[in-house]
Structure 1
Amino acid sequence: MMMNNKNAVQDILLREDASGAVYLTLNRPDKFNTLSEAMLSALQHELEDIAADPAVRCVVIGANGRGFCAGHDLKEMRANPDQAYYQALFRNCSRLMQSIVTLPVPVIAKVQGMATAAGCQLVASCDLAIAAKSASFAVSGINAGLFCSTPAVALSRCVSAKRAFNMLISGEFIDAETALDWGLVSDVCEDTGLDAALAEKVAQILSKSPAAVRYGKSMFHSQRQMSLADAYDFAGHVMAENMLEPDAGEGIDAFLGKRQPVWQQPGH
């Protein structure tokens, strides 16, 4: 597969584009890829660029080094002991997490090593998460006197209330298999098989109708905030719109004709 290398504005975040998939790699391995101000800004910039590009069909967020992400940069935070600074920092982080959810295409977290605090929040915010068996997860701010309030928002939308609160109040780590059982990640694989498992999932997404995937992601997250009746009304409206797309007609005709569908490519 031909890949075009494209560095982000700063080397702390790397970007590769390949056949409709974008790979963003946190690149502060010596700092366990903490979400510094610069990292948050670089990620936000890339997500906004991706959101405006109809050719992108899937995004992967991974990381270099032994750990996925250790959360916020605590040294940077301690160097700025000001409430306005902290509110701006957490506002920017929250904006980033919401940008992942509202991105028109699926976002997959590729997790190796530990994902803690805002790093765990990052995993929870992604649509899918594939974790190496040795990966571990925690919202451990409580151990440093800080309840992980903003990570709790994303975590509690993946994990049951009691399990999420137990993680938040204890600061204890859970392993990858537990994260899978609790719903924090979608797949777990052997450490040596992480790249292959990710490639298989990306290929699966890219094999689907680009239009249907975009309809589906937007609908799925929107309906979760609605009452049951409103969700069904909304889903029916979206599905009717989706049915009018050329890909839906092509997909149904292909199914009836026992052949492979040929999807309309974005921008054509």
Structure 2
Amino acid sequence: MGIDIRGDGRITEVIIDIPPVNALSADDWFALADAIRTAATSSTVTAVILAATGRGFCAGVDLKELQHRTDNAALIAVNRGCFAAFAAVYDCPVPVVAAVHGYCLGGGVGLAGTADIVVAADDATFGLPEVDRGALGAATHLSRLVPHQLMRAMVYTCRTISAQELRNFGSVLEVVPREQLAAAVRRVAGEIAAKDPLIIRRAKESLNGIDPVDLRRSYRYEQGFTYELNLAGVSDRARQSFLDRRRH
């Protein structure tokens, strides 16, 4: 359990396996960042697959870690961990193909929205429940998956959206039955891996260079409001309300 790395020369898989719901602690986010940075260190690697085991791709941040601390150290650590993981996906020198199944929430949207390509199972749903959890963030990444006005509506209402709807927007490349997801994402990654590794690496670098939004700066700006909400005491109440509902 944890963050697993598997490679076969041209393709490296990074797999999130943190039961029960793939909600990541600060240490988990940093471990994921390290794994993604390690995944493409070999010059022969041409694509990285980011996948997960269990019921869903990623439920975001482990709120219990934040709620059990009386200082801001955990909040600072988890925000820095999320920032590091998203940046690792974005800065990965080769394309990252996300294989999304089940729920993709909060930090999961941060990962999927930063990936170069998303392949999803037909049971996948995407959403930012941050407002209900007393936090803000990853709208930067959601805006890479949905149109701007829809992104705003999803942030305000915490509504989710299906993989097929994202396929209609073009932000999800393929939607396949759950049992076919692993094969589909391997096929897409294999198409990339068949290319010249150096050319693919320069292609990734060039595409990052023409992005209209600086993802790091934009996401860091959002995180500042999470700090503010925590200092105001609003976040503690929202997180506790969510945790209490889960226990009933």
Give TM-score scaled by structure 1 length.
Answer: 0.74
If you compute each CA radius of gyration, which structure gives the higher value, 1 or 2?
Answer: 1
Match of 2:179 in 1: 192
Structure-to-structure mapping, 1:17-36, within 5 angstroms: 17-30=7-20, 32-36=21-25
The answer on whether the counterparts of 1:147 and 1:169 sit within 8 Å (CA) in structure 2 is no
Match of 2:82 in 1: 93
Match of 1:178 in 2: 165
Q: Given the alignment of the two structures, is residue 45 of structure 1 paired with residue 34 of structure 2, yes or no?
A: yes
Q: Given the alignment of the two structures, is residue 148 of structure 1 paired with residue 136 of structure 2, yes or no?
A: yes
Choose which of 5, 13, 17 in structure 1 pairs with 2:3.
Answer: 13
Q: Given the alignment of the two structures, is residue 79 of structure 1 paired with residue 68 of structure 2, yes or no?
A: yes
Greater mean deviation of Cα atoms: 113-122 or 158-167: 158-167
The answer on whether the counterparts of 2:102 and 2:123 sit within 8 Å (CA) in structure 1 is yes
* C-alpha separation in 2, matches of 1:115 and 1:159: 14
Q: Given the alignment of the two structures, is residue 108 of structure 1 paired with residue 97 of structure 2, yes or no?
A: yes
Choose which of 55, 74, 83 in structure 2 pairs with 1:66.
Answer: 55
* C-alpha separation in 2, matches of 1:174 and 1:92: 26
Match of 1:211 in 2: 198
RCO comparison, higher one (Cα < 8 Å, 6+):
2
One-letter identity of the residue aligned with 2:161: I
One-letter identity of the residue aligned with 1:100: V
How many Å apart are 1:127 and its aligned residue?
Answer: 0.6
* C-alpha separation in 1, matches of 2:13 and 2:28: 15
Q: Given the alignment of the two structures, is residue 129 of structure 1 paired with residue 86 of structure 2, yes or no?
A: no
How many Å apart are 1:95 and its aligned residue?
Answer: 2.0
* C-alpha separation in 2, matches of 1:51 and 1:197: 21
Give CA-to-partner distance per residue, 1:195-223, whole Å, 9 cap, x none.
Answer: 22112112111111111111111101111
Q: Say how many residue pairs are matched.
A: 213
* C-alpha separation in 2, matches of 1:123 and 1:136: 12
User: What's the secondary structure of 2:24's corresponding residue?
Assistant: coil
* C-alpha separation in 2, matches of 1:199 and 1:29: 24
One-letter identity of the residue aligned with 1:70: A
Change (3 A) 1:134 1:55: same
User: What's the secondary structure of 1:109's corresponding residue?
Assistant: strand
Instruction: Name structure 2 gaps, 5 residues minimum.
Output: 214-248
Greater mean deviation of Cα atoms: 215-224 or 154-163: 154-163
Match of 2:154 in 1: 167
* C-alpha separation in 1, matches of 2:65 and 2:112: 22
One-letter identity of the residue aligned with 1:74: L
Give TM-score scaled by structure 2 length.
Answer: 0.80
